[in-house]
Amino acid sequence: MTGSGPHGRIIKADVDKAQPASPQAKAAAAAPASAPAAAAAPREHKSLEQMGIAPGSYDLIPLDGMRKTVARRMTDSFRDVPHFPLTIDIEIDELLAARAKINGLLEKTGVKVSVNDIVMKACAVALMKVPEANASYSPEGIAMHHHADIAMAVAIPGGLITPIIRKAETKGLAQIATEAKDLAARARDKKLKPEEFQGGTFSVSNLGMFGIRTFASILNEPQGCILSVGAGEKRPVVKGDQIVIANVMSVTLTCDHRVVDGAVGARFLAAFKEMLEEPLRMIV
């Protein structure tokens, strides 16, 4: 308030003419002079009508608890975790031949090993070879996990869930295939126990069966990495001085840069690539 009296004094007329301060101004005045600038306010969520969608032109499906949880977790992860992708191409002719032979040996047991089962086993072995990639960030320090607990993304009505193959580095392909099939079935029936989908040290998301060639996933906290697996397809590759046709699969590793840097991510992918291109390395 500016005074209009002698020597700038505030008089009754000044008070009578003064306008009440806005709530924002009052808050600013009450803040200590040394206080840092306030953080940006959360983005205001507008209605569809406010964003130009005509009323009555859509059907609204209410959000259930799972969809709300997935939306919150993915928003938090994408906003708060500094992550980056690394992509590599892998020739999988040897993998496909090994899978066919393995399934022939398992035919009488009724167990069938999928490419994704082999991918999860290869991830587990590679994490043991590059333990820095099997880690989680926390404010107290970097957690170096003792085992490779591989979470696999499973699409279910209303969202996504990630059941976990615990200690995958200690299990054979037949056991991983059996557990993965059981966990996926119970996930779709919403019969998983919390300990079967909470935690994990590393995630695998496979969209190859939908024809997706390459993609990058959002990190599933507190895991330090997630591997996105694309479709295997015939592509021309250079071998020596010749162009030949090979089955190639692209994978992308998304890393939490607070715990896994580019060099560690690259070393993990190199170890993983070796496992898939020469599957016998998984048991050596």
Catalytic residues: 257
* Residue 37 CA, distance from chain mean position: 32
Amino acid at residue number 5: G
Of all helices (H) and strands (E), which one includes residue 93? Answer: helix 93-106
* SS3 of residue 194 by DSSP: helix
> In 123-192, at which residue ranges do the beta strands (DSSP E only) sit?
135-138, 141-144, 150-152, 154-156, 159-161, 164-165
The tokens of 281 are what? 């390395």
DSSP labels for 15-83? HHHPPPPPHHHHHHHHS-TTPPPPPPPPPPPPPTTTTTPPTTSS-PPPP-HHHHHHHHHHHHHHHHS-E
Of all helices (H) and strands (E), which one includes residue 237? Answer: strand 225-239
Residue 22 CB contacts under 8 Å (≥ 6 apart), including other chains:
none
